[in-house]
Structure 1
Amino acid sequence: MRFISILMGSKSDYEIMREAVKILEKFQIPYELIITSAHRTPDRTHSYVKEAEERGCKVFICGAGMAAHLAGVVASLTTRPVIGVPMPTGMMDGLDALLSTVQMPGGMPVATLAVGKAGAKNAAYLALQILANNDDELKAKLEEDRVAGAKKVEMDSKEVEVRID
């Protein structure tokens, strides 16, 4: 069974990572969600990644703040795609997490997205796009979603538009 795994460094990350969950549920893609820390529970993190990969995980989404090493540790344990979502925590409101997540050594890629909710949403969409490379039905659903998004912008505009002819 193929699925996407969402890992969070702490329970405080759930409100933001819930945005990724909503997208995966919208597209009816199976997912797992766990709290595991690169620093506080390294054995749990290592064993979970290996077990999830063996059970069919195709993409890992990792949300973490401050030192934000979770995505990098996961990337060191798997060759599956890893997507990092920096959390808006710490003294720099997420900039520290962004830099920690994006600054990976060569050969250990982490696709790093925006800090916070927009990053969590886009992480789910990116994971879906990765799966869609081998799934024409999912690809079609993603294309329909884009069309619906464009139509929503047009409808929203019509509600407030003022033009001079």
Structure 2
Amino acid sequence: MGASLPVLEERGLSHNMMNNQPPLVGVVMGSQSDWPVMQHAVAQLQAFAIPHEARVVSAHRTPDLLFEYAEQASERGLRCIIAGAGGAAHLPGMVAAKTPVPVLGVPVPSRHLQGQDSLLSIVQMPKGIPVATFAIGEAGAANAGLFAVALLAGTDPALAERLQQFRHHQRDTVLAMTLPETP
């Protein structure tokens, strides 16, 4: 069997992002190279003070670890998992196959097909194994983070209020925009 969850933490490939609080959201990616995209999901979780963890779990290179992570997600208290992957992008679907916890898939742009291959891989799941699929890249990762916040806000009135304030701030920012006068 591959590296266990504690071994990942020792190697610096796993981080509990809100110390002393059990994570509610897991953020997983197939490689450290996915972090520049997936950090945008984490940034949204941090902005709303959502306890979360981020770790590298490869569908192809550490399949036993992937199964362990997904199978333990519910009992560990995770309410959803944001899974980012590029290329063949099997990580979100494999996580979804092994856990009842909702999985939010983020296609990470690839070198050759700019993430279109990842998007199609994640969105085309067989009936019965759903993965909520987001846009390719940074916007998709940020929206997956916000979607996780919205999921949690359904049972947390204080979080729902903070989410509403965030949306009002977005609205107010747009309404305050002006265009330069035409010369």
1:132 corresponds, among 150, 153, 172, to 153
Partner of 1:72: 93
2:75 corresponds, among 42, 49, 54, to 54
1:148 corresponds, among 153, 164, 169, to 169
Partner of 1:63: 84
Larger proportion of helix: 1
SS at match of 1:33: strand
Residues 31-81 of structure 1: CA distance to partner in whole angstroms, max 9, x if unpaired? 000001111100011111223321110000000000000000000011111
Given residue 43 of structure 2, which amino acid in structure 1 is its aligned partner? K
Partner of 2:110: 89
Identity rate of aligned residues, in percent? Answer: 45
Structure 1 stretches of 4+ with a deviation exceeding 2 A read: 50-53, 160-163
**Unpaired stretches in structure 2, ≥5 consecutive residues:** 1-21
SS at match of 1:55: coil
Partner of 1:98: 119
Are the counterparts in 2 of residues 7 and 34 from structure 1 also a CA contact under 8 Å?
Answer: yes
> TM-score of the superposition, structure 2-length normalised?
0.84
Are the counterparts in 1 of residues 25 and 148 from structure 2 also a CA contact under 8 Å?
Answer: yes
Write the distance in 1 (CA, Å) between the matches of 2:169 and 2:181: 23
SS at match of 2:73: helix
Residues 81-106 of structure 1: CA distance to partner in whole angstroms, max 9, x if unpaired? 10000011042110000000000000
> TM-score of the superposition, structure 1-length normalised?
0.93
